[in-house]
Chains A and B, each alone.
Chain A
Amino acid sequence: MDALDLARLEFGITTSLHFLFVALTLGLAPLIAFLQTLWVVRGNPLHERLTKFWGQIYIVNYGLGIISGLLLEFQFGLNWSGLTHFAGELFGAPMAMETLYAFFVESTFLGLWIFGWGRLPKVVHLLTFYVVAIAAIGSAYLIVVANGFLQNPVGFERAGDALRVVDVGAVFTNPAALLAVGHILPAALMVGGFFMAGVSAWHFRRGTGEVPFFRLSMRLGLTVGYVATFFTIGFGDASVLWVVRNQPTKLASGAEALRAAERMAAEHGPGDYLAPTWVPIALTLMLSVAYLYVLFALVPLVLLGRGRIERRRFLLGVGVWTIPLPFLTVILGWTVREIGRQPWVIYDVLPTSEAVSDISTAGVLASLVIFTTLYVTLVVIGYLVIARIARAGPRSLVLGSVLGDEELVRER
């Protein structure tokens, strides 16, 4: 493996693992915003406990997302300086806007939300979470605009050895970005919704006794997750149709793909311009999972009425054991999108081999080993911690607790 392969591997590992946390953050935020709104409007303590319980899972998951995202901002400068030099204006600008408009705002307001518990007026406190949720969606949009440019470069012209924007509107309304946002947001709601339902199923199965608490969680999670499935499929199918027409080499089959590959070879020199043959298989797998949900998530949905689902031990078990499934499927989706783009970093414009920095193989290898170790540690310990919080249930709520009562508990 040379520096290019290692840099690609490092990018793939770190972004995929980062996206595990991003998906749950994006999916849980609207659900928590809904629960806290109920609490503020109705003043029911049940809704307060729901907000705190799902909120603390959300926060820990968000924290793990930040940590796994730290490297990504630096990775472009470290390993892919050719890309920032060549397309800083088109790719870098939405990335920089993401750090300022979305991440900076999201982190600051999440800090206000966590530590404003009981300090800020209730409505103001709720509004800080709305800002967090909107910033999260804005963050997803801007990142996908940056990625969309790599998939479908629009609104640019060549100026010397770099690209220049000629149509900002085209960059921000790139179909490769809009279709992806339409697909990713409901996919994240599937992750969040079925996670919420799965955790509730665990509590019913164990008979932990918090019936009204997890009944509401189960209803909210299942309903949102199920409805989101249809939107995920709709935008997913639209994206596939779009890819077939615009990125023929991605799904590597048919005369169209071969013609496109021949044209690229003529224009950019000889090379393998077809994506690996397993990409369409991965795509089919992703679609199959979505249709499984359409079919089988209907069963618990029908049994929601009068709490019949709460006594079906087998079904509850399925709900628990399938919590990882939506997570794995969203990673599969990114893999299709990103591997399918190869060998290009900017489709049909800049190959990855020209974007990689002038760095030594040993240097990239060392950073790959260090960060893979750290990321695996983070994912393992992080999910054990999240599982622990989820299992402890609403009886151990730490969100909004103060230094005084924490020390009381300790001294007992």
Chain B
Amino acid sequence: MEIVWLLVVGLLLAGWYALDGFALGAGMFLAALRGDARGRRRVVAAIGPFFLAGEVWLIAFAGVLAVTFPDAEAALFTALYPVIVVMVAAWFVRDLGMWLRARRPEPGWQRRWETAQAGASAVFAASAGLFLGNAVQEPGAGALWWLNPYALLGALATVALFGLHGTAFLALRATGELRERGRRAGGRLAPVVLVLLLALLATAPLASAPGLVPLALVPGLAGPAAVALAWPALRKGRDGAAFAGTALAALCLPLTAGAMMAGRLLEGVAGASTIDQLTRVALPILPFLLAAQAVLWWVHRHRLSDRSVTFF
């Protein structure tokens, strides 16, 4: 049963990478739309319906991890205290930007919150990368060990990957000028992401003691492969295929890290009775949660139009 819960925890984090990753990427893209208030409004409108349902995955991950792998969680959170503080603070500011932007009509107010959202999205993505990049390593000594080269590479790769995922999302959901801009930016970002992901994979044995276990190689290679497929799809205008590719690449990042550290996580698993309890009371809701998310995506499967409901 521990393996099932390891998979559930992995699924929840992977869900966040795929479903909030594009919101962070599109949030960063706001910075690229300086002087285009209409475009920025459309970016926010494009994310809108998926925003609430995307970020819940990370909350669910934290909540479930704390119960199922309490000692692994405690070790990780204590070792990576500053990273998590920065991550939650950036998350806080990103959400403030999203919720407050449209609450006043003044362009100055809106621009300020858009800037806050763009900056905080980048910091949020970077700290998620720092978290995973450090989590696969044994905690080191010194107050700033978490700024080691491998973790920094992870941060850079995550920011770039989320950026790509966000542009693919805009290419899929927007129309006209914004769709073109998303597609062009994605086409330029894709090779960078590909190189960064491969570098992350190649240097993994240097950073992590158990190295690349065979299980980690599957998502580890699937990620770059998905980016390699999304790249031409973006250029040819096959937006659906491109978005599916970047989503898969985003999913693969935490799964690779999870496979690399599975051994350590399993050592920190909760007692058998906790796992049994939770299997009985918490596992049955998962299909319902997935179905509700699927309904949400189905309702908002169309491209942005004048008839799209806005709130943010």
A interface residues with partner B (beta carbon < 8 Å): 59-60, 63-64, 66-67, 70-71, 73-74, 76-78, 81, 84-85, 88-89, 92-93, 95-101, 103-105, 107-112, 114-120, 159, 162, 164-165, 168, 357-359, 363, 366-367, 370-371, 374, 377-378, 381-382, 385, 388-389, 398-407
- With both beta carbons as reference points, the residue of chain B lying nearest to A66 in the complex is identified as B95
Q: Which residues of A contact B311 (CB under 8 A)?
A: 59, 114-115, 398-399
Identity of the chain B residue whose Cβ is nearest the Cβ of A97 in the assembled complex: B282
Contact between A88 and B277 (Cβ–Cβ < 8 Å)? Answer: no
Per the bound structure, the CA–CA distance linking A263 and B169 in Å amounts to 63
> Known contacts A70-B92, A108-B52, A363-B81; is A389 also within 8 Å of B103 by CB?
yes
- List the B side residues contacting A367 at CB < 8 Å: 81, 85
Check if A78 sits within 8 Å of B273, measured CB to CB.
Answer: no
Binary per-residue interface labels of chain B (89-127) against chain A in the complex, 1 for a CB within 8 Å, 0 otherwise: 101110110011011100000000000000000000000
> A400 vs B295: C-alpha distance in the bound complex, in angstroms?
19
Q: Is the CB of A108 within 8 A of B309?
A: no
Taking A67-B95, A117-B309, A120-B299 as contacts, is the C-beta distance between A89 and B274 under 8 angstroms?
yes
Is B144 interfacial (CB-CB < 8 Å)? no
Q: B84 on the interface (CB 8 Å rule)?
A: yes
In the complex, what distance in Å separates the CA atom of A70 from the CA atom of B289? 20
Q: In this complex, what residue of B is CB-closest to A371?
A: B89
**A359 touching B309 by the CB < 8 A rule?**
no
Report yes or no: A97 in contact with B271, Cβ–Cβ below 8 A: no
| B273 A98 Cβ-Cβ under 8 A | no
Contact present for B56 and A103 (CB under 8 Å): yes
- Chain A residues with CB below 8 A from B271, complex form: 89, 159, 162, 164
B53 touches A92 (CB 8 A): no
Distance in angstroms from B105 CB to nearest chain A CB is 8
What's the least CB distance linking B144 to chain A, in Å?
12
CB of A96 within 8 A of CB of B63, answer yes
Which chain B residues in 61-99 approach chain A with CB under 8 Å? 62-68, 70-71, 73-74, 76-78, 81-82, 84-85, 88-89, 91-93, 95-96, 99
Q: Which B residues form the contact surface with A (CB < 8 A)?
A: 38, 41-42, 45, 48-53, 55-56, 59-60, 62-68, 70-71, 73-74, 76-78, 81-82, 84-85, 88-89, 91-93, 95-96, 99-100, 102-104, 270-271, 273-274, 277-278, 281-282, 285-286, 288-289, 292-293, 295-296, 299-300, 304-311
Q: In the bound complex, how far is the Cα of B62 from the Cα of A74, in angstroms?
A: 7
> In the complex, A165 Cα to B278 Cα: how many Å?
11
Query: Which single residue of chain A is at the shortest CB-CB distance from B95?
Result: A67
Cβ–Cβ contact A84 & B66, under 8 A: yes
Residues of B with C-beta under 8 A to A168: 277, 281
CB distance from B302 to the nearest CB of A (A): 10
Contacts of A403 in B (CB 8 A): 41-42, 45, 304-308, 310
- Which of B96, B273, B308 sits near A402, CB closer than 8 Å? B308
Q: 19 new A-B pairs (CB below 8 Å) besides A77-B84, A93-B274, A168-B281? A: A60-B99, A67-B92, A77-B62, A77-B73, A77-B77, A81-B77, A89-B277, A95-B63, A100-B60, A104-B59, A107-B52, A107-B56, A111-B49, A111-B296, A114-B49, A159-B271, A164-B274, A363-B85, A367-B85
B contact face: mostly helix, strand, loop, or mixed: helix
Give the interface centre of A59, A114, A159, A371 by most chain B CB atoms within 10 Å: A114
Q: How far is the CA of A216 from the CA of B76 in the complex (A)?
A: 53
Chain B: minimal CB distance from A157 (Å): 10
Determine if A73 and B63 form an interchain contact, defined as CB atoms under 8 angstroms apart. yes
> Across the interface, do B52 and A96 meet the contact criterion of CB distance under 8 Å?
no
For this complex, 8 residue pairs linking A to B, each with C-beta atoms less than 8 Å apart, are A66-B52, A73-B59, A78-B77, A81-B73, A89-B274, A119-B299, A403-B42, A407-B306
Complex formed: what's the CA distance from A358 to B53 in Å? Answer: 34
What's the minimum C-beta distance from A43 to chain B, rounded to whole angstroms? 21
Q: Which of A100, A117, A374 contacts B285 (CB 8 A)?
A: A100
**In contact, A374 and B102 (Cβ under 8 angstroms):** no
Alpha-carbon gap, A85 to B307, bound state (A) = 50
Q: A74-B62, A404-B306 are in contact. Are A88 and B270 (CB under 8 A)?
A: yes
Taking a contact as CB atoms closer than 8 A, the residue among B48, B93, B99 that contacts A374 in the complex is B93
Complex CA gap A110/B286 in Å reads 18
Task: Please pick, from A84, A108, A109, A159, the residue contacting B73 in the complex, using a CB distance under 8 A.
Answer: A84
Q: How far is the CB of A14 from chain B (nearest CB, A)?
A: 11
Docked complex Cα distance between A63 and B97 (Å): 11
With A108-B52, A108-B292 in contact, is A93–B77 under 8 Å at CB?
no
Decide: B38 and A96 in contact? CB cutoff 8 A.
no
Q: Are B103 and A388 in contact (CB under 8 A)?
A: yes
- Say yes or no: A70 contacts B88, CB within 8 Å: yes
Q: Which residue of B lies closest to A89 (CB)?
A: B274
**Shortest beta-carbon distance from A392 to chain B in Å:** 10
Q: Tell me, rounded to whole Å, the shortest Cβ–Cβ distance linking B285 to chain A.
A: 5
Nearest 8 A-B pairs (CB), nearest first? A404-B306, A81-B74, A99-B63, A92-B67, A77-B77, A115-B49, A111-B52, A63-B99
User: Could you tell me if A357 and B89 are in contact, using CB atoms closer than 8 angstroms?
Assistant: no
A96-B78 CB under 8 A given contacts A70-B95, A84-B73, A403-B306: no
Cβ–Cβ < 8 Å partners of A359 in chain B: 78, 81
A93: chain B residues at CB < 8 Å are: 67, 274, 277-278, 281-282
Do B309 and A99 touch (CB < 8 A)?
no
Partner of A67, one of B96, B273, B278: B96
**Using Cβ atoms and an 8 Å threshold, which residues of chain A touch B308?**
402-403
- Hey, which chain B residues are within 8 Å of A399, CB to CB? 311
Tell me the complex Cα distance, A168–B276, Å.
12
**Cβ A67 vs Cβ B103 within 8 A:** no
CB closest residue in chain A, given B300: A115
Give complex CA distance A63, B88 in Å.
16
With a CB–CB cut-off of 8 A, which chain A residues contact B84? 74, 77-78
Contact call A88/B85, Cβ cutoff below 8 A: no
> What is the CB-to-nearest-CB distance from A180 to chain B, in angstroms, rounded to a whole number?
21
B59 touches A401 (CB 8 A): no
Residue among B45, B50, B63 making CB contact with A111, cutoff 8 Å: B50
Supposing A107-B52, A389-B103 touch, asked if A96 and B278 sit within 8 A by C-beta, the answer is yes
Q: Which residues of B contact A98 (CB under 8 A)?
A: 63
Query: Which chain A residues border B77 with CB–CB below 8 Å?
Result: 74, 77-78, 81, 357
Q: A70-B92, A88-B70, A381-B100 are in contact. Are A115 and B277 (CB under 8 A)?
A: no
Chain A: minimal CB distance from B89 (Å): 5
A75 smallest CB distance to B (angstroms): 9
